[in-house]
Each structure stands twice: as structure tokens, then as C-alpha cells.
């Protein structure tokens, strides 16, 4: 159906629909209070483009995403759902090292690099290989040190299959109708680290039956900590996803349920930005 990005302020609120500027203003100081009007506008623009806030209907899929900032006005996570003219759909999520505007700039490189290479008809593994090359070259040219974990999946709706490659990203949860939750593990190293390990970038194929739901997150979810210092972890995330999917009427419900569970666990004190994307294939 539609992609409705929202930035969650603390405490987590899912009912109110605010503009990006209102969301920035609602954040706790000093996260946004020091920003000038121009800086707010720039932050709003970055968030809107990194998370494709314009709504798009894509035949055969329903999807929803949300983003929670730990601090500041922008961060280094991206989520994207992109439709090709041949009917295929690309799903991606990434987590860039660092925080703030610098991470957001690198996040833009990742988002549009993924779109560019996928639009050329490259396979999932070749998309990551190409992105890794340009990311390393960009680091060298700009004299920066940055890396990223990236998941990209290309859904072939005619063949009912998903080709995916994961560059060191958090495992993706796959929920088939009436079956136990499956985990899609990384298939490649991080982006931007190794300049001679191109051959390590691999992909996998899985069949996708109608009703299958994929839930993608960044490590801000699994690395959230309770007030006592305990990690939320992969087991709790899997349990939260399983429960949400069983109760789901919409993908917005799934995303909101997962975000609320993480928020409750860490008592609203996020250590890192969190992005969550849920996609159902019809």
C-alpha cells in the first residue's frame, strides 16, 4: 500500500501524525532545541529523502516503515522500497557508521547507489559489490572513514522469489503463513571496509509465497539496553516480530508493535537510531 515514514519522539507515540518539523521540535533537548530554522529545514529534507516519505502504491506488496532517532535531528539509517518498470520490487535497509549529518550524507550515497545499481538490472550480490567499490573510492577521495551494513533484496513477483544479499546487516525476519519464523543471515562483509574482498559478496534465493512478511531492522533495536544494562537482543526481537505478525492486520501495526516493544524495554532511552521496515507480499 503506502510508505509512511515517521520519526518517533520520546516517549514513543504512534497515533499522532506530525510533520517532520513538528517531530524535530518535539524531541528532547538538546537534540533539536539548538537548531536554527535553516538547520531544521535541512534536517527535514534529509529525513524526507532518506526515508522516501512520499506515498507510493506498489501492486502486490504492502509496506510500512518507521524511524526513531536516539539523538540529534538526523542519523545514518536508511529504508527504501523501490518499484521497477518490469514489476520487480527492491527492498533495502542500511545502517551507516557514525551519527548526525555526516552519517546522513553517507546514507544518501548508499540509498541512491542501491537504486542506481539495482535499476541497471544487476543481481543483489553485484549491487553490493558495486556499492562497496564506490563507497571505498568515495572514502579515499573525501579522506573519510566510514562503513555500512546493508541489506538489499530484489523481489521477482512473477517468479515468486527473492534474491537478497546482506553486507553484515542485522538478520532479517521472514514469516511465512502458518510456519515458524525464519532468519536471513548476512551473506557478505560490511560495505566500505575491504578493498580486496569483492569475491566475498554473495547472494541467496528464497521462494516467496503469498502472505509472506519480511521484517527488517537496524541494530539499534537489538542493541537497545534496559535500565539495568541488559541487551534487547535477537531472541527478544524475534519474539516481538512473531507476536506482531500473528496479530497483524496491517504492516503499520507490525512496525508499531516492534518499535513499542523496544521502547518499553529500554524505558525510552535509545542508545542508537532504530529503523524498522515490514513488507507483506500478496
Q: Residue 2: inside a domain, yes or no?
A: no
Please choose, from the candidates 114, 111, 105, the residue with its C-alpha nearest in 3D space to the C-alpha of residue 46: 105
- Residue 26 has a pLDDT of 46
Residues with Cβ < 8 Å from 67, sequence gap 6 or more? 5, 6, 7, 8, 47, 51, 75, 77, 79, 273, 274, 275, 276
| Neighbouring C-beta atoms of residue 38, cutoff 10 Å | 8
Per-residue confidence (pLDDT) for residue 99, from 0 to 100: 79
**Quick check: is 255 in a domain?**
yes
Tell me the CA distances in angstroms from 175 to 32, 131, 256, one per residue in order.
Answer: 37, 28, 17
Split into its structural domains, the chain has a count of 1
Confidence (pLDDT) at 268: 87
Return the CATH number at 214. Answer: 3.60.40.10
Q: Residue 59's CB: how many other CB atoms inside 10 A? A: 9
Nearest to 277, CA basis, from 151, 103, 116: 151
- Parent domain of 269: 7-34+53-281
pLDDT at 172: 97
Tell which residue, 96, 94, 134, 105, has the closest CA to residue 216. 94
CA-CA distance, 144 to 133, in Å (whole number)? 15
Alpha-carbon distance values, 208 to 42, 55, 174, 240 (Å): 39, 24, 10, 22
Query: pLDDT truncated to tens, each residue of the chain (282 aa)?
Result: 333 444 433 323 333 344 444 444 444 444 445 556 665 655 666 666 666 544 678 888 999 998 888 776 667 889 999 999 888 999 999 999 987 778 888 888 999 999 999 999 999 999 999 999 999 999 999 899 999 999 999 999 899 999 999 999 999 999 999 999 999 999 999 999 988 788 899 999 999 999 999 999 999 999 999 999 999 999 999 999 999 999 888 999 999 999 999 999 999 888 888 999 999 999
Residue 47 lies in a domain: no
Residue 230 falls inside a structural domain: yes
Is residue 39 in some structural domain?
no
Task: Output phi, psi for 7, to 5 deg.
Answer: -100, 120
Query: Shortest CA distance to 146 belongs to which of 154, 156, 155, 136?
Result: 136
Establish if 174 belongs to a structural domain: yes
In DSSP notation, 131-190 reads: HHHHHHHHHHHHT----EEEEEEEEETTTTEEEEEEESPPPEEEE-TTS--EEE---BPP
Q: Is residue 194 part of a domain?
A: yes
Amino acid at each position: 500500500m503506502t510508505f509512511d515514514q515517521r520519526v518517533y519522539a520520546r516517549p514513543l507515540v504512534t497515533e499522532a501524525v506530525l510533520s517532520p518539523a513538528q517531530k524535530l521540535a518535539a524531541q528532547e533537548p538538546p537534540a533539536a532545541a539548538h537548531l536554527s530554522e535553516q538547520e531544521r529545514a535541512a534536517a527535514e529534507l534529509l529525513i524526507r529523502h532518506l526515508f522516501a516519505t512520499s506515498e507510493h502504491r506498489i501492486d502486490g506488496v504492502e509496506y510500512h516503515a518507521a524511524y526513531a532517532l536516539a539523538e540529534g535531528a538526523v542519523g545514518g539509517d536508511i529504508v527504501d522500497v523501490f518499484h521497477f518498470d518490469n514489476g520487480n520490487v527492491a527492498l533495502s535497509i542500511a545502517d551507516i557508521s557514525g551519527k548526525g549529518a555526516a552519517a546522513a550524507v553517507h546514507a544518501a550515497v548508499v540509498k541512491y547507489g542501491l537504486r542506481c545499481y539495482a535499476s541497471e538490472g544487476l543481481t543483489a550480490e553485484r549491487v553490493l559489490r558495486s556499492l562497496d567499490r564506490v563507497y571505498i573510492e568515495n572514502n579515499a577521495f573525501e579522506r573519510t572513514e566510514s562503513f555500512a551494513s546493508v541489506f538489499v533484496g530484489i523481489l521477482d513477483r512473477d517468479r515468486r522469489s527473492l534474491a537478497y544479499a546482506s553486507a553484515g546487516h542485522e538478520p532479517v525476519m521472514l514469516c511465512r503463513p502458518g510456519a515458524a519464523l525464519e532468519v536471513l543471515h548476512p551473506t557478505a562483509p560490511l560495505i566500505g571496509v575491504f578493498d580486496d574482498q569483492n569475491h566475498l559478496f554473495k547472494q541467496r534465493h528464497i521462494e516467496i509465497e503469498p502472505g509472506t512478511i519480511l521484517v527488517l531492522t537496524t541494530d539499534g533495536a537489538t542493541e537497545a539496553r534496559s535500565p539495568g544494562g541488559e541487551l534487547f537482543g535477537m531472541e527478544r526481537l524475534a519474539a516481538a516480530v512473531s507476536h506482531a505478525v500473528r496479530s497483524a492486520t496491517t504492516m503499520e501495526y507490525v512496525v508499531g508493535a516492534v518499535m513499542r516493544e523496544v521502547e518499553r524495554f529500554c524505558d525510552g532511552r535509545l542508545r542508537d537510531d532504530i529503523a524498522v521496515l515490514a513488507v507483506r507480499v500478496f
